[in-house]
Structure 1
Amino acid sequence: MTSTFTPSGPARDSITPEALRSAIAVADPGALLMSMVHVSGDLSLLDEFEEQVAHAKRAQAGGGTATQTHYGAQSGAVATPPGQFPVEIAAAIRERAAEVLTSGLSVQLGLPEPELFRRMASLCTVGTVDEEFVPLLLEQAGFQKAQRRIPVTRTPAPDFDVIVIGAGMIGLNAAIKLGEAGFRYTVFEERDELGGTWSRNTYPGAAVDTPSHYYSYSFELNPDWTRYYPTGPEYLTYMQGVAEKYGLYRNIEFSTSVISAEWIEEEQKWVVETRCQDGSVVPYTASAVVTALGMLNSPNIPDIEGMNTFEGRIVHTAEWASDLDLVDKRVVVVGTGCTAVQVAPNIIDEVASLDALVRSPHWIVPEKAVVNDVPEGERWAMRHLPYFQNWFRLKAYWLASDNLYPVPRIDPEWAATHLSASPASDLVMQTALQYLERSFPDRPDLWEKLTPDFRPYAKRIVKDPGFFAALNRENATLHRAAPARIHPGGVTTTDGVYIEADVIILATGFHLEFTTSIDIIGRNGTKLADLWKNGDDPRAYLGIQVSGFPNLFVTAGPNAAPNHGAGHNITSEEHVHYVVECLQYLVEHDYASMDVDPEVQAEYNREVDEALDRTVWAHPGAEVTGYYRNSAGRPVGPCPWRLVDYWTMLREPSVDHFQFTRHSV
């Protein structure tokens, strides 16, 4: 393999000895070491540090050091966190970097052959990267773009139009890749700006809980993230920049909502009706429709008795009021998921009092990087050190992906006598429990209130951005309760406590929808909403296609979420790649449409249910509500497969799984 490296950001004259020294002092050692190998072409560096790592592991094993979790929890002696080099080896890497990189930053080794790449990836992550992961890592770390599988010998016909619904992460990705593949497309976005959830959620502290350097498009890396976990505004700025670079704005119809889509069998087309800002309804025809709405869109506003009597202000975090003044206000926050945990520490300094109503607490783990800035030296390294950014991204993905796959899976023998699902699950639980006790050393009452009664991963694991610290403040009170009734001047909780309030913040999440808010009608007049019981029991082939709805691609559909690790961005790229491959197959073979065989879809979902039946998502150990599961307790969000397996499934369509229809003569 060959590849070239071009520094991004400021001009090369900013590569000074001082800047280089500052970068070496703070840059991630694994990515720094790999950059040294690219610059020098000296593979003996791999030998040298592989031996040092092996020696450290032997010493650690012999010394009986601590057991670790993926979150760094330890018991016993202090151990090196997963994916990190021991302190002395990290220091040795920096010392060698000062020798190797000062001679210049020209590249002697481009993208290595697969086996060498696998070896480098293993050392970078201080782990073992098997051969099966290499193609995925090459793409997801941005070393190369997704490789097309369907041979491209024909271009789409002029009337082969594609409609994309939604201009969030997946919608923008679809626009870019459809355009690059030569398909005419239009994106309809009901809001007046792009960004999806990151234009909608503007509450204080809104942020991504996936690392910045991974939560971005693999083909559009950003070296200038200011935080290791991006804030909502910074991520929105990133998306706007991508849209500008690829000229997407000219193909996006803003303030235009899609109200219906109907498949016309005789024409082998979709008729899509839209409602414009002025209320007018305009129909469009398209050969294919791609929904890019995600599954969490409509705010979940609880029906609490007396809401209309409250004399203060009630605001949902997804509908944040820019004029809301919280200074010296008595504030009640309802909810305990990622949003509530972000809001509380970001308003605690200005409010008179904060009462957090926690009905069902999540497992909360420590993660210092959630609130840490990226040092300027490391940002400089991202821009200027050859391939540093790629290896940094690879490492961020690797440590939060299929390494975590065993954690939500149930070990029946272990689970029979433990709340946790397995030894791996128990390590995560102990991490959370130890963190809880450390955070409130003199408050066993809070230990009880903040300890969940369900298995780890049955709901989303929350990385603490300062929630526990906020609860330690004198003006904060935690209630293990929900609001029972709202009065003109406050809230009565389900445990009978009355709380005076000026503002009530509903951090209560979203309704699970899976596109059922749109009236989608397939063959024989079948409505998708009816088939999916208004979103309560959605089923699809590969989480994307539904039998009876030709050329409809429901991205981020049922059982497609990577809930054991990584982030929504990998789903975005997997699904968009698959859509383009399917459409190209139609073009190449002069087909008008493809429709998944109903038996194939049924068998796929049987396999999904069987795999999920061995997870905490199906058997959480206690009654659990949330968007992972439907009203019958079936997991409808989580994908049961390893990320590498799902990625492989989506490289190209299995054509024997479909019924194809040719264009009418």
Structure 2
Amino acid sequence: MREQPPATDGELRAALAEANLPTLLLALAQLTGDDRWLREPYVPTAPRGAEDHDSGGLPEHVQTEVREQAFAIVDDWRAGRLDPAAPPTSDRLPGWLSLSLGSDQVIPAEIGGLLAEELGIAPRDITPLAPGAADDFRVLIIGSGFSGLCAAIKLEQANIPYVVLEKNDDLGGTWLENTYPGCGVDTPSHLYSFSFAQCPDWTRYFAKRDELHDYLERLADGYDVRANIRFGLEVASATWHADEARWHVQAQGSDGKPEEFVANAVISAVGFLNRPSLPDIPGIESFAGSTMHTARWDRDLDLAGRRVAVIGTGASAMQLVPAIVDEADHVTVFQRSPQWGLPNPNAMRDVSPATRTLMREVPFYLGWYRLRNVWNFGDRLHPALQIDPDWPHPDRAVNEVNDRHRRFLTDYIKSELGDREDLIPKCVPTYPPYGKRPLLDNGWFRTMRRADVTLVTDAVAAIEADGVITADGVRHLADVLVIATGFKALEVLGPIEVRGRSGRTLRETWGKDDARAHLGITVPDYPNFFFLLGPNTFAGHGGSAALSIEMEVRYVMRLLEQMLERGISSVECKQAVHEEYGARLDAALNQTIWAHPGMTTYYRNSAGRIVVPMPWTNYDYWHMTREPNLDHFSAETTVGAI
């Protein structure tokens, strides 16, 4: 995404000396069209765990041969002496990918189409409309985070007029609002980016907040969508006017002035991690020191020499505490339940300049490195999360594979805790691995064993001016109180009032915490209203939000395309289709680990229904959203139903 001068021959040789050979072999096979790079003696061995496996397990002389020949081939390509071969067909991609990941990885043949799109050799976009063809049609997007920007980019490319309303004074959503120390992504950076805007210049394998926000800034500028974003406008309501087949959207500026927008379609891109959840603890307002939620961090706060109390041990706490412990005098962590922390060799690693050169200079290297992550951090894990009704130990795991993960992770946590055996019952969960959102270990367990850190597992009973009181009556003194209790993920769309065809609001339709949508995207009674990252679209088994967003945006774009081509003024999901999908969804969810009774999780609502993750693989969802079926919708033109 940034212009860089071409690498010198010496820089390219140095970069190839660091290359991940399983990735390089795939890139060479695609560049040359020569299958010999996929046969012995070049077939990699299986990696261990989550490692990149740079050597591929190949003998030293084979490694040297591959790197030397790679230089000659890339040099020929750069000099114009080699034209890239035709890309492999989608049916070959699963076999190529499986081979690069070792013989124990059998990748289903049917996912070839998804892999081809992610690799960029198959189209995912609609054909752009002729300029002016959609001048009488306008789309309104709520939010300018990852999903809002993706929708804006695709509308811009399709020549469909749109406007983005953003409540903040800058774009970025989650990656604008969250600025706490250690804040970053727990999905590999090269995967946590769009297939159409892959970034060769990530400086960390798991990027931190500032770099992620910079990526989004460059997206907005590079695709010319910033001019269509209205900042400082918070949407208050959206009301469907059937006589016009349009939404009337009321927003309020940061100056308090109201403004109305009229749109043919509305895309909700507010996500589900944007409204902080604050605990109801007696006396919390009486605390005399600094108090803040992690999502509302004060970057000017000086923690040097201060006693910090952190309530919560979810994703933000696991990033925050290791990042502040060297600055604070003492950190006390209040834990309701322990979390499984996943080790990854790249968790704290920088991406070397040489590796960034590979990503920029070697054709297809970045795409294949990313594609390996699509599988390794995605559908590979799905079987481990499915309940085996015949498994004899349902208290500790949901199937044999899940139990193997439990044993591995338990041993890992114990090794990180070292001689602090007193911490084992506090840090090793009793529920099955992945029952809650799996978290990347950023040094959490090693931090817990420090003398200047206290892990408290007694319930918080009250907060007073100078500290936190736990249920055992102990007072824990503090100068700073950090609330790390996550977000109101179940209150989809938060305070926005959306009123549909019948006059009912979405909140009345759903209740407080039971959001449902066909494919997570559309709801009966709310024509031309589309959700991105809506209910039950989070790939809880693993994957990238960027992949889910692209699939959902493609679905919406193809619906809009059909509307414009056929003169359709409104599409509304049929109630029977919505109910049938909901029944299939709930049945599948009840067979997943998230239905396990052994833990509390924000994935489930007050009635116990699973509202956040989807039960299927990324491929399943790709297949479901690849082409919208107009038979699933009640469609109307300006002259009546069709």
Report if TM-score (shorter chain) is over 0.5: yes
Aligned to 1:139: 117
| 1:154–1:280 distance in 2 versus 1, CA, 3 Å | closer
* 1:92 counterpart (46, 62, 73): 62
Aligned to 1:179: 156
Percentage of matched positions with identical amino acids: 37
Aligned to 2:40: 48
Q: How does 1:397-546 map to 2 (within 5 A)?
A: 397-414=374-391, 416-512=393-489, 513-534=491-512, 536-546=513-523
| 1:334–1:8 distance in 2 versus 1, CA, 3 Å | closer
* 2:8 counterpart (6, 15, 20): 15
Write out per-residue CA displacement over residues 407-432 of structure 1, whole angstroms, 9 at most, x where no aligned residue: 21111221545411111111221122
Distance in 1 (CA, whole Å) between partners of 2:84 and 2:231 is: 47
Aligned to 1:656: 631
Write out per-residue CA displacement over residues 53-80 of structure 1, whole angstroms, 9 at most, x where no aligned residue: 4xx67xxxxxxxxxx98x45xxxxxxxx
SS at match of 1:437: helix
Does structure 1 conserve the Cα–Cα contact (< 8 Å) formed by 2:303 and 2:328?
yes
| 1:430–1:448 distance in 2 versus 1, CA, 3 Å | same
Does structure 2 conserve the Cα–Cα contact (< 8 Å) formed by 1:265 and 1:523?
yes
Distance in 2 (CA, whole Å) between partners of 1:105 and 1:543 is: 48
Give RMSD over aligned pairs.
2.1
Distance in 2 (CA, whole Å) between partners of 1:369 and 1:90 is: 23
Distance in 1 (CA, whole Å) between partners of 2:356 and 2:158 is: 33
Does structure 1 conserve the Cα–Cα contact (< 8 Å) formed by 2:31 and 2:364?
no
| 1:432–1:28 distance in 2 versus 1, CA, 3 Å | same
Write out per-residue CA displacement over residues 302-337 of structure 1, whole angstroms, 9 at most, x where no aligned residue: 121112221211111000012211001011111111
| 1:124–1:94 distance in 2 versus 1, CA, 3 Å | farther
Write out per-residue CA displacement over residues 228-248 of structure 1, whole angstroms, 9 at most, x where no aligned residue: 011011000000001011111
Distance in 1 (CA, whole Å) between partners of 2:514 and 2:639 is: 35
Q: How does 1:204-603 map to 2 (within 5 A)?
A: 204-414=181-391, 416-512=393-489, 513-534=491-512, 536-603=513-580
Aligned to 1:4: none
Deviation at 1:147, TM superposition (A): 4.7
Distance in 2 (CA, whole Å) between partners of 1:556 and 1:99 is: 44
Deviation at 1:154, TM superposition (A): 10
Distance in 1 (CA, whole Å) between partners of 2:91 and 2:506 is: 46
Distance in 2 (CA, whole Å) between partners of 1:294 and 1:224 is: 26
Does structure 1 conserve the Cα–Cα contact (< 8 Å) formed by 2:134 and 2:161?
no
| 1:422–1:84 distance in 2 versus 1, CA, 3 Å | farther
Aligned to 1:26: 18
Any gaps of 5 or more consecutive residues in structure 2?
Answer: 78-82
| 1:590–1:449 distance in 2 versus 1, CA, 3 Å | same
Which one is further off, 139-148 or 564-573?
A: 139-148
Deviation at 1:443, TM superposition (A): 1.8
| 1:434–1:570 distance in 2 versus 1, CA, 3 Å | same
* 1:604 counterpart (569, 581, 585): 581
Are positions 1:637 and 2:612 aligned together? Answer: yes
TM-score, normalised via structure 1 length: 0.91
Distance in 2 (CA, whole Å) between partners of 1:298 and 1:8 is: 33
Equivalent position amino acid for 1:30 in 2: P
Deviation at 1:441, TM superposition (A): 2.5
Distance in 2 (CA, whole Å) between partners of 1:142 and 1:494 is: 56
Which one is further off, 25-34 or 352-361?
A: 25-34
SS at match of 2:385: coil
Distance in 2 (CA, whole Å) between partners of 1:403 and 1:389 is: 20
SS at match of 1:266: coil
SS at match of 1:87: coil
Aligned to 1:130: 108
SS at match of 1:407: helix
Distance in 2 (CA, whole Å) between partners of 1:320 and 1:462 is: 21
| 1:40–1:417 distance in 2 versus 1, CA, 3 Å | closer
Any gaps of 5 or more consecutive residues in structure 1?
Answer: 1-6, 58-67, 73-80
Which one is further off, 463-472 or 107-116?
A: 107-116
Deviation at 1:118, TM superposition (A): 3.8
Deviation at 1:35, TM superposition (A): 2.4
Deviation at 1:82, TM superposition (A): 8.7
| 1:553–1:108 distance in 2 versus 1, CA, 3 Å | closer
Distance in 2 (CA, whole Å) between partners of 1:178 and 1:96 is: 43
Deviation at 1:157, TM superposition (A): 3.3
SS at match of 1:395: helix
Which one is further off, 177-186 or 470-479?
A: 470-479
Distance in 1 (CA, whole Å) between partners of 2:116 and 2:518 is: 27
Are positions 1:613 and 2:590 aligned together? Answer: yes
Distance in 1 (CA, whole Å) between partners of 2:41 and 2:503 is: 64
Distance in 1 (CA, whole Å) between partners of 2:503 and 2:216 is: 37
Equivalent position amino acid for 1:470 in 2: T
Distance in 1 (CA, whole Å) between partners of 2:230 and 2:317 is: 33
Number of corresponding residues: 631
Equivalent position amino acid for 2:207 in 1: P
Distance in 1 (CA, whole Å) between partners of 2:623 and 2:330 is: 51
Which one is further off, 19-28 or 547-556?
A: 19-28
Does structure 1 conserve the Cα–Cα contact (< 8 Å) formed by 2:234 and 2:251?
yes
Does structure 2 conserve the Cα–Cα contact (< 8 Å) formed by 1:332 and 1:501?
yes
Deviation at 1:15, TM superposition (A): 2.8
Distance in 1 (CA, whole Å) between partners of 2:516 and 2:295 is: 27
Write out per-residue CA displacement over residues 503-541 of structure 1, whole angstroms, 9 at most, x where no aligned residue: 11111101122114210000111110111102x111111
Equivalent position amino acid for 1:321 in 2: D
Aligned to 2:603: 628
Distance in 1 (CA, whole Å) between partners of 2:635 and 2:70 is: 58
